[in-house]
Chain A
Amino acid sequence: MDLPPMDLDFTPDEEAFRAGARAWLSTHVPSAPLPSLETEEGFAAHRAWEAELAADRWSVVNWPAAYGGRDSGIVRWLIFEEEYYAAGAPGRVGQNGVSLLAPTLFEHGTEEQRARVLPPMATGEVVWAQAWSEPEAGSDLASLRSRAVRTDGGWLLSGQKTWSSRAAFADRAFGLFRSDPDVPKPHQGLTYVMFDLRAPGVTVRPIPRLDGKPAFAELFLDEVFVPDQDVIGEPGQGWRVAMATAGNERGLTLRSPGRFLAAADRLFALWRAQGSPAGARDRVADALIGARAHQLFTYAAASRHLDGASLGPESSLNKVFWSEYDIALTETALDLLGDEGESMDTEWAERYVFALAGPIYAGTNEIQRDIIAERLLGLPKGRR
């Protein structure tokens, strides 16, 4: 029995890439945290940071060079993310576009769309919001009613979208619209569209989240013109196109292990600075262990991906894990802060507020558990 070893080591080239990322970050990461990206001032500061990253090709390392990336592949992307968050670098204001829209364009877009949309996304010049949910279409997304009506050279969008993350300050949005109301099943007759948030007919009404910051918005659309070139995939095939996005969102790219490894290390440092209180000991240990588990789970998924496997319903496992992990970690931090725990002036408070949304967005954790039970365990469908 002479078996090839499993291996968690990185090649000299990968280690050189890591060293290069670390060196760049050590001289560029802002010494003081940027203002919250959910404020106008902070949004602008984060947009400028994206431009600084992009100037040296660090904003989208896993993209092709033609669009501003480094063709790094997934392993180097994971390395970059570990270094990025270990360095305490800012949150990514372009995350929705980079993690959700870009993979859709790579899979279903045209070359013209990629060449036009991706480079300004990479630099932060154009920041994207998502436009999925509607007042009457949340977990049951396919019941959405916003319309796309055919017109000369394009489509007219009408209806209402809501819970649109980043839309208060973003430039453009992407989402699904009902282009054919006369189909037998709700998943049919949907079209995937990109549109300008400043186009005539668009009204953006910011929604303050729990801490009052306008982290998302309602969108009111009244015959907003979208040219044919901004439809991704075939009209009527939007559900299939969007599910590629959903798979990416829940899968590897939305939350990298680096975020949680760095957060767990900071939690551990906080625990020690507070005198290693016994009451939080188990939760601090579990944060360290969970970060390692998420890293190794992701390494395994990346290895399967490199072996040619596509990410399946196991991405639902990942989404439930990191969203619940993030809340547990930030709750522990606030508890460790004691009397300071309710202050909004700590690095943990905004992180906690952000974490609270995790089990709700990107497909609620109840929907994810249904997917795990039905598609991974093979349990029969039933009433939701």
Chain B
Amino acid sequence: MRFLLAPEQRAFADSLDAMLTAADTPSVVRAWGRGAPMSGRALWSRIAEAGVFALAVPEAYEGMGPRPVELAVAFVELGRHAVPGPLVETVAAATLLTELAARDDTGPAKRLLPALASGASTATLALPPTPVPYALDADVADVRLAVSPAPEVPADPADAPAPAHATGATGAPQSATAAELRLAPPPGPPRPSLDPARRLSPLASGGELLATGPHVTAAAARALTTARLVTAAQALGVGLALLDRTVAYVKQRTQFGVPIGSFQAVKHQLADAELALEFARPLVLGAAVTMTGRDVAAAKVTACEAAYATARTALQLHGAIGYTAEYDLSLWLTRARALRTAWGSPDTCRAAVLSATAARP
């Protein structure tokens, strides 16, 4: 047992942090939300060059994954800088294609994965009607994937052993209707999100059929697990950024002649935020190590609730300035709210923890 990031992993996080700090992500986020994705696409390329998307893609398809721990490390940094775009969805799509290939259906992987690894393509993914009815940023994504019907959420094949290549075993519950993976046609106008940088599109039915059968259900369940993990990591990064910004603010904001950060009522709210985030962190990294549905669901609900609670504290301690769209804090505040329900609400994740606990030997 050694539950500690290696120096190389910490250096990877630090280099991403430095790159994203220099990238002035707040202006990128705002442009993305206005429907001007140029700067976001440029940033996407740099994130890809750093190897982030390749972490979700096997070497056979020009990646260097799957590496869930490094993915989690990277997504903490992406969240810390509120990077916009279908980041989770691209990694989830890559996982879906990888898992299809692991079940002897290599066509879609050969066709799509190398461009996802290199950053040449962005992807989005929906599992309609639940648990993921909308595809994030489908209006700008190059690859729009839809799986229907989606895997049943509580019966989580991610807890089953990985499929053997030779047998093509699915590890998935048999569904009455064979699941289909399709390349969805261009979407209609996106629905606005509470987070102005997120653009939600229902995917139209139809489109090219890429794969069908029970292995699609199994692969989609794996994609869902990966999406939950990196959403949790992203939320953790969002929460850490909110805490950092708020700590800095209460040190310099003075009232009654002293920094408001010297008041116990302020300190204890921030101590609680730190507590929530620092207990979410090992759940996120532990889930990346085990990749069980139980650990991933636990990480998702805990990291997202910690980030959201930190957002509430950040807003309260900033006062009215934090309530304005103009102030950059808003980018993280609204992101924390959106991630909380994306890829599995708190209720859904708690249900997954309970059903996995009941199924334990």
Contact = CB atoms under 8 A, between A and B. Distances in A.
B286 A292 contact: yes
B8 interface: yes
Contact of B357 (A10, A288, A372): A288
Given A8-B1, A297-B282, A377-B270, A282 B70 contact: no
B282 A300 contact: yes
Contacts of A384: 264
Contacts of B262: 379-383
Contacts of A288: 298, 353-354, 357
Given A292-B295, A300-B282, A380-B261, A6 B4 contact: yes
A293 B354 contact: no
Residue of A7, A299, A379 most packed against chain B (CB within 10 A): A379
Question: Which of A10, A317, A378 has the largest count of B CB atoms less than 10 A from its CB?
Answer: A317
Given A293-B279, A320-B275, A379-B267, A286 B1 contact: no
A321 interface: yes
A192 to B, nearest CB: 29
A376 interface: yes
A210 to B, nearest CB: 25
Contact of B289 (A6, A285, A292, A374): A6
Contacts of A372: 271, 274-275
B285 interface: yes
A299 B282 contact: yes
Contacts of B350: 281-282, 285-286, 289
Interface in A278-317: 281-282, 284-286, 288-290, 292-294, 296-297, 299-300, 302-304, 306-307, 314, 317
Contacts of A294: 279
B64 A1 contact: yes
A292 B284 CA distance: 11
A6 B6 contact: yes
Give the contact-size bracket for chain A: 35 or more
A296 B283 CA distance: 7
Nearest to B301: A289
Contact of A289 (B51, B275, B302): B302
B2 A378 contact: no
Contacts of B4: 6, 300, 303-304, 307
A285 B268 CA distance: 26
A379 B282 contact: no
Contacts of B274: 317, 372-373, 376-377
B275 A317 contact: yes
Task: Select the residue from B4, B8, B295 with max chain A CB neighbours within 10 A.
Answer: B4
B195 to A, nearest CB: 25
Contacts of A289: 283, 298, 301-302, 350, 353
A6 B279 contact: no
Interface string B57-93: 0000000100101100000000000000000000000
A8 B271 CA distance: 28
A299 B3 contact: yes
A369 B279 contact: no
B64 A369 contact: no
A272 interface: yes
Nearest to A264: B357
Interface in A9-26: 9-10, 14
A303 B278 contact: no
Given A6-B285, A294-B279, A374-B267, A379 B251 contact: yes
B59 to A, nearest CB: 12
B290 interface: yes
B168 interface: no
A281 B353 CA distance: 11
B348 to A, nearest CB: 11
B272 interface: yes
Contacts of B279: 290, 293-294, 297, 317, 321
A299 B264 CA distance: 31
Contacts of A10: 1
A285 B353 contact: yes
B258 interface: yes
B264 A370 contact: yes
A240 to B, nearest CB: 25
B250 interface: yes
A8 B290 contact: yes
B247 A3 contact: no
A370 B271 CA distance: 8
A145 B262 CA distance: 29
A223 to B, nearest CB: 40
A48 to B, nearest CB: 34
B314 to A, nearest CB: 13
Interface string A234-255: 0000000000000000000000
B283 A293 contact: yes
A296 B258 contact: no
A220 interface: no
A7 B283 contact: no
A280 to B, nearest CB: 11
A60 B288 CA distance: 33
Contacts of A5: 69, 289
Given A286-B350, A372-B274, A380 B259 contact: yes
A293 B258 contact: no
Q: Closest 4 CB pairs between A and B?
A: A382-B262, A373-B267, A296-B282, A285-B350
12 contacts: A6-B3, A7-B289, A14-B1, A75-B1, A292-B283, A296-B282, A297-B278, A300-B282, A321-B279, A373-B261, A382-B262, A384-B264
Given A317-B279, A379-B250, A379-B262, 18 more contacts: A3-B12, A3-B69, A3-B70, A281-B354, A285-B350, A288-B353, A289-B283, A289-B298, A289-B302, A290-B279, A320-B275, A368-B271, A372-B275, A373-B270, A373-B271, A374-B267, A380-B261, A382-B258
Interface of B: 1-6, 8-9, 12, 51, 64, 67, 69-70, 243, 247, 250-251, 258-259, 261-264, 266-268, 270-272, 274-275, 278-280, 282-283, 285-286, 288-290, 295, 298, 301-302, 347, 350-351, 353-354, 357-358
